[in-house]
A and B are shown apart, each in its own frame.
Chain A
């Protein structure tokens, strides 16, 4: 090998492997706050520039136009062990970015749908998406100061969730509270996986 002499990591054997968990929710639901509460690095932002053919939007001349959209995602990292690194991605919640969620959801261990009870309807797209895709998810209700407190069953009813989907109350600003949401998700994902294996 031409460059073998200076390899700090000979071969890829000693490189850790990455896994990811998604944190989805409407605008302002607290996705970045939760990422920051548990991440070992300050949340970073990655952008994808997406070119889409616009259909029937600027239908002035009959000529198909192209629009460029920049989708930004905040993410953080938790080193689990020497072999495993967990990335947390706050995913854009709007319907029109579905195509982007597909790359993100592929290989995700699971997802947290962060719900804001002042705008519970913002959680519908994410719930629908993960149900449809078969991705394990939990709904975490972020309690904002002054937000009226719905109980777990009211949220479950409002979102029309299956009985097996966990719903937990949380404070996205709190490290302990956010850790508990992650633990709930992982336990739920393991239970689903074991049920599927049986």
Chain B
């Protein structure tokens, strides 16, 4: 039986500790603008630049050519979305990515959007 005060560093904590170590201990992105379905595209694939961590480079490579959502990036990096958002915030600050926020988050969906999705599903 492990003591309660020891439980923070048990084996279950391992991946979490490692994830946040990659972000220098930061748990929040520098800007609060990433939703799970915010789409990301790399604008610059010059991965030799100063200050890039391996995970930054992986993100730039996977978002080259076709956009990916924050959720997909996090899944492919096998890290919590919270951690991926921190790394994406770094890349945004460097001007290395473009983002596209989801449609009208605070409002009810527009009829033309619903119609477009309906048509798309019928075409599948």
Interface residues of A (CB under 8 A from B): 1-3, 6-9, 11-12, 15-20, 38, 44-49, 58, 60, 68, 70, 75, 77-78, 80-81, 84-87, 89, 103-104, 106-107, 109-110, 134, 175, 179, 182-183, 186-187, 189-190, 193-194, 196-197
Contacts and interface: CB of A to CB of B under 8 A. Distances in A.
Contact of A7 (B44, B79, B102, B118): B44
Contacts of B122: 179, 183
B34 to A, nearest CB: 11
A175 B124 CA distance: 9
B111 A86 contact: no
Given A19-B113, A58-B4, A190-B115, A44 B71 contact: yes
Given A12-B98, A60-B4, A107-B102, 15 more contacts: A2-B95, A3-B95, A8-B65, A9-B41, A17-B100, A17-B101, A19-B103, A20-B102, A48-B81, A104-B36, A107-B104, A109-B117, A110-B109, A187-B118, A190-B111
Contacts of A9: 41, 43, 67, 98
A196 B101 CA distance: 25
A77 to B, nearest CB: 7
B43 to A, nearest CB: 5
B76 A109 contact: no
The B interface, classified by DSSP as helix, strand, loop or mixed, is mixed
Contact of B38 (A7, A18, A38, A60): A18
